[in-house]
Structure 1
Amino acid sequence: MGRLDEQVAIVTGGAGGIGTAVARALAAEGAAVVVADIRDAEGADLAARLGGRARFTHLDVTSEDDWQRAQAETERDLGPVSVLANIAGIIDWGPMGEQSPESFRRVVDVNLTGAWLGMRATAPSLRRAGGGVIVNMSSLSGLMAYAAIGAYAASKWGLRGLTKSAALELAPDRIRVCSVHPGAIRTPMTAGFDDAYTAGQPIPRFGQPDEVARMVLFIVTDATYSTGCEFVLDGGILAGPPAVLDPDD
């Protein structure tokens, strides 16, 4: 028996990276997982490999119509949604002067507005399920500043605030809402970075998608007294700069 038997989960961005790891982790605990993504072939392949009650649905997280359809089809075929994992996200690198307004809006639309649309569309289903959990994938960039990723940082800081607001609003319905803040995770988004990028961290390596997925699973299954909280996986960056030791001491 899995800890999520009879539960129904929608995972956005499920066709790759962290989203795939989250979908696998939830399915391994018995959840019926809807892999939601714009990458049809990869998403359908993952759903087939997950087996059981897993499904794929095409979902552009910036489309209200897509969200309404995905939620309605999920509830019709599998039952009310009890877990929403908003994992889909994009980034655009470059200083402000080189980023177009269209690119800025696109990043914010996917990372922030997409999560808002998802919560808005699925909240009634979560209520019908008697409660549940929403996990929003923010970032270390939602807790501290980095140069040349202004749109990404704005979206992830915004998602952090949106999470807290939704947690307060949905608590009476027994719906918990938390955010996850990964640092450097080895995914296609970080493919251009070598290991030197993490050399100064207390844990001097890239994290793995499965490590993030285990945190999401913990929030869903075990963090039952937590809502509106940030859960951080950053290799120790927020602890501060590394200690400087004098070998003569």
Structure 2
Amino acid sequence: MTAAGRVALVTGAARGQGAAIAERLLADGFRVAACDVLADELTATVRRLKSSSVVGIPLDVTSAPQWQSAVAAVVETFGGLSALVNNAGVLHRASLADETAAGFEGSWRVNCLGPFLGIQAVLPQLRHTDGASIVNTCSTGALRPFPNHSAYGSSKWALRGLTQVAAAELAADGIRVNAVLPGPVETPMLDPATQSRLARHALLGRIGTANEIADAVAFLVSDQASFITGSELIVDGGQSLQIG
């Protein structure tokens, strides 16, 4: 199947990495369903993209009914679905002593439950699509421990595991499942002070850009990655090589 015949659903697409992924896939010839809980920002992003091949769909990834409605809307609009990019995520920091049950669970619901619900929702479509693929956005926080990130880090470790299980289980259906693991990226998730601090200690002297993560995702959903499943593509400028 050529890219022109493919349809991707991208979560967390209102801004940052998700918006960059939606824009890159659109440029590659995909028709794109850009989904996010931030309805106003999503509308602005879709308007900026100025294409009849992109549609904005409000979606709370922690809601199974909303997932079902979103997938139905994509199929009604574009006639099918061939790729899912589980990009939506939240970054929540707290020490173990100060973390709350609500804060911990909230991170897990968005960062791990959301992708799980998304995979379940798209399976009926992907099982009947040649070249189907799923990409989950993990993090270098799922490679090494960062203090005060118990909720975020553990949820991303779990998402790594979900990626592996899904890859093994869905291979027989011809569905590839991979993960991209970004390091620090210049997006609204990190405040300017944090971005500057991380850049000062980065091996390459800077943090990543949203477009660089989008490039990695575009590769994983492309035919050039047709023999890649269960893989983890680290895009961190060498952050995971550092100690301490």
Q: Which interval holds the TM-score relative to the shorter structure?
A: over 0.9
Aligned residue in 1 for 2:25: 26
Q: Which residue of 2 aligns with 1:247?
A: none
Q: How far apart, CA to CA, are the structure 2 residues paired with 1:166 and 1:115?
A: 11
Deviations 1:181-202 (A, max 9, x none): 1111011111141423233332
Give yes or no for contact 1:44–1:55 (8 Å, CA) kept in 2.
no
Runs of 4+, deviation exceeding 6 Å: none
Aligned to 1:218: 219
Superposed CA offset, 1:68-117 (max 9, x none): 01111111221221010000000111101111101110100000000000
Q: Report the equivalent of 2:65.
A: 65
**Matched ranges for 1:48-127 at <5 A:** 48-50=47-49, 51-127=51-127
Structure 1 unmatched ranges of 5 or more: 243-249
Q: Deviations over 1:191-242 (max 9, x none)?
A: 1414232333321211000000000001111222110110001111233459
Please say if residues 21 and 211 of structure 2, whose CA atoms lie closer than 8 Å, have aligned partners that are also in contact: yes
Deviation, structure 1 residue 67: 0.2
Which residue in 2 is equivalent to 1:245? none
Identity of aligned residues (%): 37
Quote how far apart the aligned CAs of 1:38 are. 0.8
Determine if the alignment matches structure 1 residue 153 to structure 2 residue 153. Answer: yes
Provide the rounded CA distance (Å) in 2 between the counterparts of 1:218 and 1:129. 18
Q: Select between 108-117 and 47-56 the one with higher mean Cα deviation.
A: 47-56
Secondary structure of the equivalent of 2:97? helix
- Matched AA of 1:207: G
Q: Distance in 1 between matches of 2:28 and 2:195?
A: 34
SS in structure 2 of the partner of residue 36 of structure 1: strand
Query: Could you say what secondary structure the match of 2:184 adopts?
Result: coil
Which amino acid is 2:170 matched to?
L
Structure 1 residue identity aligned to 2:125: S
Do the aligned residues in 2 keep the contact of 1:131 with 1:173 (CA within 8 Å)? no
Structure 1 residues 197 and 49, CA gap change in structure 2 (3 angstroms): closer
Structure 2: runs of 5+ lacking an equivalent: none
Partner amino acid for 1:238? Answer: S
Question: Take 1:201 and 1:129, find their aligned partners in 2: how far apart are those partners?
Answer: 41
**Distance of 2:172 and 2:75 partners within structure 1:** 22
- Separation of aligned partners in 2, 1:197 and 1:26: 28
Partner of 1:5: 4
Structure 1 residues 233-248: aligned runs within 5 Å? 233-241=235-243
SS at match of 2:121: helix
Aligned to 1:197: 198
Contact 2:184 2:195 in 1 (8 A): no
Match of 1:36 in 2: 35
Deviation at 1:131, TM superposition (A): 4.1
What's the C-alpha RMSD, in Å, of the aligned pairs? 1.6
Do the aligned partners of 1:139 and 1:156 also contact (CA within 8 Å) in 2? yes
2 CA distance for matches of 1:216 and 1:113? Answer: 21
Q: What secondary structure does 2:159 align onto?
A: helix
2:13 aligns to what?
Answer: 14
When the two structures are aligned, how many residues end up with a matched partner? 241
Q: What is the SS of the residue equivalent to 2:225?
A: coil
The change in CA–CA distance for 1:194 and 1:40 in structure 2 (over 3 A counts) is closer
